[in-house]
Structure 1
Amino acid sequence: MAQAETGSQHPTPADGTTSGAKPGMARELGWYASFSVAFGFVSIATGIFTTYGSVLASSGPRGIWAWPISVIGQLSIALVFGALAARIPISGYSYQWVSRIVGPLWGWIMGWISFAFLGVVVVAVDYTIASTILPELFHYVGTTQNAWAITAVVMLLQALLVAASTRTTHRVNNTAVTVQLIGMIALTVLLFAVGFSTGKLDFANLFSTGTVPESGYYALGGTTHAGPFALAFLLGAFTIVGFESAANLAEETKEPARVIPKAMVQAVLSLGVLGFLFLLAITAAGRVDGAADSATPVASVITAILGSVVGKILLVLVVVSIFSCGLVITLSGTRLVYAMSRDERFPGWPQLKKIHPRTSTPLNATVFMMLIAQIILAVFSSSTDALFELFSAATLLPAVIYAGTVAMYAIKRRSLPPSRGFSLGRWEVPVLILATVWLVYELLIFRDASFRGPWTYVLVLCAIGAVYLIGLIARRGRAHLTMPDMADVDRALDSAAPGQDAPAAEGTVR
């Protein structure tokens, strides 16, 4: 189908149309849609269900106490990202921020790393449905072949939704997030109530190291390995990521400078509190037969405490949550590819920067993102060990993105224009110190030898990106990698009348 191009010389007005005859993406998302994007990507049901068993193995039940520390660390990052989103409300989040504040070369590198993360994490998340949940739910033997086929279909469905209609995509995600919120709250309350009334809660288990030796539990570890408690932070590091995806839809959000920072911070806070209460309940009830050896310990505990029917409902809830998570990842990846293509610096940009005139979605970018995910799935699906490395890479890559973006903000914060939407004010320095300490500690965890494969994956992807970037500069010159002055972004915000939506500042100045 024919698609019309959208170029950076045609900024998007508040009503969602573009100047001239070229179509753009409609600005129609409110606070709950923005919150749902952030909440849906993080998806505590997905993250806890997927990684709780590995935390029990590496750190024992006591490892759950790393969660609240992780929440505080990730919240500090969300606050920094909120300050940036309020100043540069444009699709592409870290790619746009770093490009405009540090320079387009560094911005391109950040964009490529973000693309690598989104391409791999959608496979890692969706594969969980096929490899773990559906075999447990329908009692069949999961194989690499049927897991590959099911995951491929799930990713195709998500891409079809994103390509067909942004409004429908958000309706599906809003519904899924509402179901997840209600379901997780209900499960937590039921676990505490039934477990307490039946005497099946053992709060001493919250402080047990399980099969992990007590000696050296809090040790930092050696050169190539992290200590048991340090590894427990990976539960939060894998789960509480992706809140910044709300900023990637800034050009489709009403009053983005005000709405997006609020949505990101509220998503992290609500996920953090609800997730920790659920972890307390599931761990206190965790001394049930077979739970420690189960491939799905969360489901095993809930089935033992609340019965098989509720256990099945949990699995259905997790399927809904994972589908929502993968949907948001696909949406966010599509917007990143579109943003970099609009600035003419992504492979195949002439086609990938087009907006379909009927759906008002970047259809080509959506198809491209889906094909990349299918290729990654095909490469890794024959080996369960390789897919475990995908999960590890999906934990490592956002830490790299967060560290680079926070460092950029810390260095350039005094040159940022003011924003009427969101400001850290006097808390800016304390928040930056907290975020920096947290990210340094988190990155040190990845020195563990178990992350050798993910580091290799990251380096290979960076090498591929470097080859393309060198070719891009050789063909068109470094002068092509230019971005508008920061004042252009601030003027775009200021040009909106009070109470109306600001137009989105666009990419490369021609």
Structure 2
Amino acid sequence: MSSSSAEQSSTADTMDADTARLKELGYTSEFRRDMSLWANFSLGFTYLSPVVGIYTLFAFALATAGPPMIWSLLIVGLGQLLVALVFGEIVSQYPLAGGVYPWARRLWGRRWAWLTGWVYMIALLVTVASVAYGAGPYVAMLLGLQPGTNTTILCALAILVLATAVNMGGTRALGLAAIIGFSTEILGALAVGGWLLFAERQHGIGVLFDSFGAASGDSYLAAFLAAGLIGIFQYYGFEACGDVAEEVPNPAKRIPKSMRMTIYVGGFAATFVCLALILSVPDFGAVISGADPDPVTTVLNTAFGTVGSKIVLLVVLVSFLSCALALQAAASRLIYSYARDRMLPASQLFARFSARLHIPPYALLVAAVVPALVVLASRISVDATERIISFAVLGIYLGFQMVVLAALRARLRGWVPRGQFTLGRWGLLVNVLALGYGVAAIVNMVWPRSPEAPWYDNYLTLLAGVLVVGSGVVLLVTTRPYGRSDAPAGDAIPETPERTVDSR
């Protein structure tokens, strides 16, 4: 047998095993397994997107805590790696489309899964909007348009339309776009960061331990924790690798690896870009005082000139677009997974598949229309970027920790991960640490930090979280959406004489 024939036979065997495993879990997938390991990793990387995360919040973080804000990237990276390890065990045993919703369903039950999916769905849709909105000013600068709220909104809507068009192309188009986005972003990050470090560096490494007067008169720890939003916003996206589990051959082995690679490579790239920008800022005092409200543009214009900075902006825009693509794909798969289990109104519509493209087109349209409405609603806020991001990140972290908590509960009730990737005896400790980190990060996000502001403004992030969770609970109690579903639930926990099948 030739090597080509042997490879084709091996691939067919893998596909058959994936189909059989999915059938054991109670599903027959309409997706095509066209996404390679590198495409899956690239999807997670472009969702995490170091360029998007750093460029969006660099000015805020540097003005709030000065150069030491960079250490939040390392702290959050370690915390999120713990979460990624827990997720890796779960997806290895339950390689199902939709990510956190089906994981919560198998670990706990229908009610918990519905609420987890609700929180995560709202957060994902708002995150798509936050990325598109964050891209708006860069689109305007690249096209030479007059900056302003209306211009930013129009450019953000254009990003959403383009992302939706690519996603409508199917899994192969998504995978190719993810690889192009990853390649462009990592090469651009290394090239731009390398040039800034070797040709435009204004400071030594010691500035990373000097606040330069940030938060003078107040607690520096409080300022550092507030600036930590740049790290918290940075390190999610690895779960997108699992959202498309039914589109990846041998997902039980490949997706946990993709998740870890996303943290390692994305974390390195983000820290490298942040370091290069910090050491190239000419005047920290001007950033902290507000005299230089956009240090990224200042650095890029100084280092590359008008023409060179346009090229850099083009790379940045590719990063924003590929990030929006990955987010939108993850949101559409979650909505589809929800609808496949009949857990949503109009489930029959949202679970509908395109026979030609092998994607759920109506679920994808929701992942385009809702973010567009959020972008349009940004006109009512003068601090739209920070508000949208804070709301989105809190929802993502809540969704994550609801799964981490479900995993811990399942372990304590007898669940032993049985996928191709497990942590063995370290699983319980990693699970506990991941939950502790996640709770601490959530408390940091909702902590009120503007005593001079109206109470509703000071507690806006917390109120947003309460609104999302509260509305989910109300819908859960009044409409009982989980009652229409007979898909497997709560089966991670082994049956015992003392245990009644929960599936709730």
TM-score exceeds 0.5? yes
Contact 1:87–1:417 (Cα < 8 Å) also in 2: no
CA contact (8 A) 1:41 1:325 kept: yes
Query: Counterpart of 1:5?
Result: none
Aligned equivalent of 1:148: 153
State yes or no: 1:83 paired with 2:85. Answer: no
What TM-score do the two structures reach when normalised by structure 1? 0.84
Q: Could you say which residue in structure 2 is the equivalent of 1:244?
A: 239
| Partner secondary structure for residue 26 of structure 1 | coil
2:207 aligned partner: 205
Q: 1:160 matched to which residue of 2?
A: 165
Instruction: State yes or no: 1:69 paired with 2:75.
Output: yes
Over the residues paired in the alignment, what is the CA RMSD in angstroms?
A: 2.7
Q: Distance in 2 between matches of 1:272 and 1:263?
A: 14
Instruction: State the AA in 2 paired with 1:72.
Output: L
Letter in 1 for 2:35: L
Map 1:132-147 → 2, pairs under 5 A: 132-147=137-152
The alpha carbon displacement at 1:161 in A equals 1.8
Segments of structure 1 that go 5 or more residues without pairing to the other structure are: 1-11, 220-226, 491-508
CA distance in 1, matches of 2:112, 2:250: 28
Q: Is the 8 A contact 1:102 1:412 kept in 2?
A: yes
Matched residue, 1:231:
226
Q: How does 1:333-348 map to 2 (within 5 A)?
A: 333-348=331-346
Q: Structure 2: which 5+ runs fail to align? A: 1-14, 450-457, 495-502
Counterpart of 1:262 in structure 2: which amino acid?
A: K
Q: Match for residue 375 of structure 1? A: 373
Contact 1:191 1:305 in 2 (8 A): yes
CA contact (8 A) 2:59 2:287 kept: no
Give the stretch that moved more between structures: 288-297 or 68-77: 288-297
Query: Hey, what does 1:416 align to over in structure 2?
Result: 415
- Shift in CA distance, 282/378, structure 1 to aligned 2, threshold 3 Å: closer
Query: What residue is the counterpart of 2:455 in the other structure?
Result: none
Does the C-alpha gap of structure 1 residues 256 and 148 become closer, same or farther in structure 2, counting only changes over 3 Å?
A: same
- The residue type equivalent to 2:112 in the other structure is W
User: Structure 2-normalised TM-score?
Assistant: 0.85
Does residue 466 (structure 1) correspond to residue 473 (structure 2)? The answer is yes
User: Residue 432 of structure 2 corresponds to which residue in structure 1?
Assistant: 433
1:407 matched to which residue of 2?
Answer: 405
Residue 321 of structure 1: how far off its partner (Å):
0.3
Equivalent in the alignment of 2:453: none
Cα offset, 1:462, TM superposition: 3.1
Residues in 2 aligned to 1:421 and 1:78: alpha-carbon distance in whole angstroms: 15
Q: CA deviation at 1:384?
A: 3.2
Does the C-alpha gap of structure 1 residues 313 and 288 become closer, same or farther in structure 2, counting only changes over 3 Å? farther
Which residue is equivalent to 1:494?
Answer: none
State the Cα deviation string for residues 218-257 of structure 1 (Å, max 9, x = none).
Answer: 44xxxxxxx0111122111011112101100001111111
In 2, the alpha carbon distance for the partners of 1:244 and 1:365 equals: 19
Rounded to whole Å, the distance in 1 between the matches of 2:153 and 2:218 is 40
Q: Is the 8 A contact 2:96 2:242 kept in 1?
A: yes
SS of 1:254 mapped into structure 2: coil
Contact 2:404 / 2:434 at 8 angstroms: preserved in 1? yes
Corresponding position of 1:57: 63
| Aligned position for 1:180 | 185
Alpha carbons of structure 1 residues 248 and 468: separation in structure 2 relative to 1, 3 Å: same
Alignment partner, residue 35 of structure 1: 41
Identity within the alignment, %: 25
Name the amino acid aligned to 2:294: T
Offset of residue 92 of structure 1: 1.6
> What is the CA–CA distance in structure 2 between the aligned matches of 1:464 and 1:216, rounded to whole Å?
37
The alpha-carbon distance between structure 1 residues 65 and 268, as it changes in their structure 2 partners (threshold 3 A), is same
State the 1:291 CA deviation.
Answer: 5.6
**Aligned ranges for residues 228-377 of structure 1 at < 5 Å?**
228-288=223-283, 293-377=291-375
d(CA) in 2 for partners of 1:431, 1:80: 7
How far apart, in 1, do the equivalents of 2:158 and 2:79 lie? 36
- Taking the aligned partners of 1:381 and 1:122, their CA distance within structure 2 comes to 17
Q: What does the per-residue CA deviation read over 1:306-364, in whole Å, with 9 as the maximum and x for residues that have no partner?
A: 44443322211111101000011110100000000000011210111111111111011
The CA deviation string for residues 394-432 of structure 1, in whole angstroms up to 9 with x for no partner, is 221122122221111112125335434211123323322
Q: CA deviation at 1:458?
A: 2.9
**1:485 shift after superposition:** 5.5
Distance, in Å, in 2 between the alignment partners of 1:452 and 1:68 is: 27
Counterpart CA distance in 2 for 1:288 and 1:410 is 47
Cα distance change on mapping 1:112 and 1:16 into 2, 3 Å: same
Amino acid at match of 1:465: G
